[in-house]
Amino acid sequence: MSSKTKYIFVTGGVVSSIGKGITTASLGRLLRNRGFNVTLQKLDPYINVDADTMNPYQHGEAFVTDDGAVTDLDLGHYERFVDINLTKKASVTTGSVYRTVIEKERRGDYLGATVQMIPHVTGEIKERIKDAAKGRNGEPDADVVIAEVGGTVGDIEGLPFLEAIRQFRKDVGHENVMYIHITLIPYVGPWGEVKTKPTQHSVIKLREIGIQPDVLICRTRLPISQEMKNKISLFCDVEPEAVVEAQDTDTIYEVPLTFEEAGLADLVVRRLGLPVREPDLAEWRQIVARIKRPHYVVDVAVVGKYIDNGDAYISIAEALKHGGIANDARVNLHWVDSEELEQVPASEALAGVDAILVAPGFGARGVEGKVAAAHYARTNNIPFLGVCYGMQMAVVEFARHVAGLEGAHSEEVVPDAPHPLIHILPDQKDIVDKGATMRLGSYKCQLLAGSLAEKLYGTSHVHERHRHRYELNNEYREQLARLGMVCSGLSPDYRLVEIIEIPAHPYFIATQFHPEFRSRPNRAHPLFSGLIAAALQRHRRLYAPEPESAAECETDAPAKAVLAVQRREAANGSESEAANGSESETTQRNGRGDFNAEAAEALEL
């Protein structure tokens, strides 16, 4: 399109976890739907070089890119919403910037200059932002770069990044840079008084740094009146149409549609001088319709070690939802602590579920609970998917209870196990540093002809993303195969086992890699759509909608004050909505299959 790349910087104020990642991803989706080449980037102020050694309880999931970067979980949102594969360029941390600056100083690249925050650190940050726009040939190929600055305005560790993006407008031109600031609009008191003062103070803090936002996105639980938007516009010095309401939605995948209706993308296009194009949102609207009005419902247990933090397995949760979208089913997730499964019988903790997924993890804590979950799924013919550590524990379970290998375990848990079914990769034995030293990134996997894996994927080989140090011990492969556990996915040199499955089971498959990282709402990963299809085949139930969210607010006094207004407004347009809605509903319902036909065929249902 244009020879000049446009840059959008997204910041957040008032509170952390305000939705910068979903906002960034949603805007990327809207611009891509207009035909623009979009890339995204996360600027993280923490001093870790990457997310590889960060505690999932504290930081959430570590997301892995094709080229092996271990990053913040927001990159997962970017990839899922925009449907692109990002690279190492998409993740910038304070630690990686400082390391590069210090390495340059040691080499003498600065020619004896005193190395300072400005211009050296901010200069390195700006170079990485520009680098994100470049393609493989080193030339800019992105029409738009959307960069999210992590943390909250006012955090001391974020100041170098904010200073860098302030300078960036001067470097590339005012017409090529746009600032979007996300704030919280809280309500207080028994009648739900909406307050704008936190937003005003957040913008003041941003202005102190020298950044005037072009757009304010206001997170709110309750609707914001036009009068309130005008007030925010006046005190924060943004145009009234640039005050965008971001009310809570039923699903994160509805956010792009909300922003489209609010005119956010059109505002961005005008402000940056991009060509005006009509968006194609048909596919996205269908996705949201299937999420909100599915035909079926399934219950899936996710057995893991880090379930107290919902973000620790965010990609797995989203991939299961994608499998539900593909099968027109609501997926109810039941989080099961693997440590509790060591104390409570699996028949009790997992009773009533239609499928079981054993999640990744590290270390000895809770591993016997994962083994118990795999045993329960295998012996009760419950559809099962194991991911990374989940695959390893499924192998351990099979070795113990089918092969009769007493004491079978992983060397990660029991270094001197009599039967080390899982052992450390040979090239990992002498590694001392923990950060970014595992087997990381995308690797090719050959699929066994006629296997469930090949049928689900519909091809003979795939590329999947990895993050592990341990692997199935080849000395036990033949023994496992003779007893019914097939190694159906292998590395091209046949040295590493990537997928195992049990053909005699309705759906028992597990992977050493992380299939969840490649799943998309519009393109569910085959292993997840297959799991949901198998769950539906085992126990197909029609979905009964839950009470409307507004009705659930009846007991919430602040929301109750607004509810009456909403109902009056809804009543005024109910007659026309009913006429249009009935036709739309019929269109959405007709032509749907019972569940994913390709997955069903692969399962020979």
Indicate which residues carry an active-site annotation.
388, 514, 516
Q: At what angle do helices 159-172 and 197-209 cross, to 10 degrees?
A: 70
- In the chain, % helix, strand, coil (3-state, to 5) comes to 45, 20, 35
Bridge-based pairing of strands 497-501 and 508-511 is antiparallel
Are residues 348 and 544 in contact, defined by beta-carbon separation less than 8 angstroms? no
DSSP character for 485?
A: -
Are residues 502 and 484 in contact, defined by beta-carbon separation less than 8 angstroms? yes
Q: Which two tokens stand for residue 83?
A: 């449907």
**Residue 572 to residue 339: CA distance in whole angstroms:** 53
Are residues 470 and 423 in contact, defined by beta-carbon separation less than 8 angstroms? yes
Bridge-based pairing of strands 408-410 and 419-424 is parallel
- E strand spans, 362-425: 384-387, 408-410, 419-424
**Residue 572 to residue 24: CA distance in whole angstroms:** 34
Residues comprising the chain, all counted: 605
Are residues 122 and 163 in contact, defined by beta-carbon separation less than 8 angstroms? yes
Amino acid code (one letter) for 44: D
- Return the H-helix or E-strand segment holding 462: strand 461-468
- E strand spans, 469-526: 470-472, 486-490, 497-501, 508-511
19: left (phi over 0), alpha (psi -120 to 50) or beta: left
**Residue 62 to residue 51: CA distance in whole angstroms:** 6
Spell 416-442 as b/e; 16+ CB within 10 A means b: ebebbbbbbeeeeeeeeeeeeebbbbb
**Residue 313 to residue 300: CA distance in whole angstroms:** 14
Distances in whole angstroms, Cα of residue 75 to Cα of each of 26, 298, 321, 362, 519: 12, 28, 18, 22, 13
User: How many separate helices (H) and strands (E) can be counted in the chain?
Assistant: 22, 24
- Cβ-based neighbours of 76, under 8 Å, separated by 6 or more: 61, 63, 314, 315, 318, 517
Are residues 78 and 90 in contact, defined by beta-carbon separation less than 8 angstroms? yes
First to last CA, the chain: 47
Q: Which two tokens stand for residue 289?
A: 């319709």
- Return the H-helix or E-strand segment holding 129: helix 122-132
**Residue 229 to residue 218: CA distance in whole angstroms:** 9
Among 134, 204, 121, smallest CA distance to 164 is for 121
